[in-house]
Structure 1
Amino acid sequence: MIRLMRLSRYVPWCLLAIVVLVVPLASSATTTSVNAPIVLKILTPRAGEAIHNNQDKITVGLLVLPGSVFQDGLRIRMRLDGKFRRRFWKRPFFTLNQVDRGKHTLQAALVTKNGHIVALSPVLVFYLWQASRLFHTTSIPLAGCRIGARDLPYPS
């Protein structure tokens, strides 16, 4: 009984030591999980996709995690064929204008207001296909056949 009374003198000091030493360690572990790395990935267009559009436009969709990066003042800047576009976006879905036909590379960057790059997405290759009058034919030449284009099962 006397030993327990002697030990009870140290209980407040032990509790104080736990509060001073252990609680800050636990709170620092939770703050590191809040500062998770930023994920930036291009969802549309997909890699190797051929986009059919005659208006020189493509729709871009991004995956940005965490979603609060736009509240922190970060913006999106796109790199098309190795050159950054002038415009900045504050949303993960937008349209790129003035894209010519052919093969293109696309990359997204999260930048600060000062222009410093925070995160980059992987480079993506896609193709823009446009219809042309040069390749449009009204009849299909069939060598050695007696049927014409009007006899085919699909409309011409």
Structure 2
Amino acid sequence: MSSNRHPLFMPLILVGGLIFGFGLAYSHMARPEVVLDFLQFEDFGLVFVMFGAAIVSAIAFAVLPRIRDRAPLTGDVYGRRLKSFDRNVLIGGGIFGVGWGLSGICPGAAYASVGIGNVTILWAISGMFAGAYLQGWWRSRHTAADIGSTGAD
């Protein structure tokens, strides 16, 4: 954690999360049946929600670095963080897509769904936590095995 963060950093993160959750609930993206209708090409309303979010994000990514050279609350320099496109990205994306299709909801919207009274979504959230834990466990075992095999040379 950066030591030069603004004191309002955490409260603004909370407010941003609440606004995000409200937006998901208001746009019905926190309702699995609406998302499943979208995935089955029966309801295209969510396209407009996603398009609106993409426009706001694109403007922010294009304009903010030209206005300031550092993030106002953290002091971090703006920059792209490129990640490699490999087998793990494809497998993870596939698992995410299958989970999204089965549950009708993605992780961010799942939390908003609890906020609008969908208690049964806790099963999906439990599955997300279990999957994340298993992935971390699997990766740590394989990283340790890779280090062990290169250290024997």
TM-score range, shorter chain: under 0.3
TM-score (norm 1): 0.21
TM-score (norm 2): 0.21
**Max radius of gyration: which structure?**
1
Structure with higher strand content:
1
Structure with higher helix content:
2
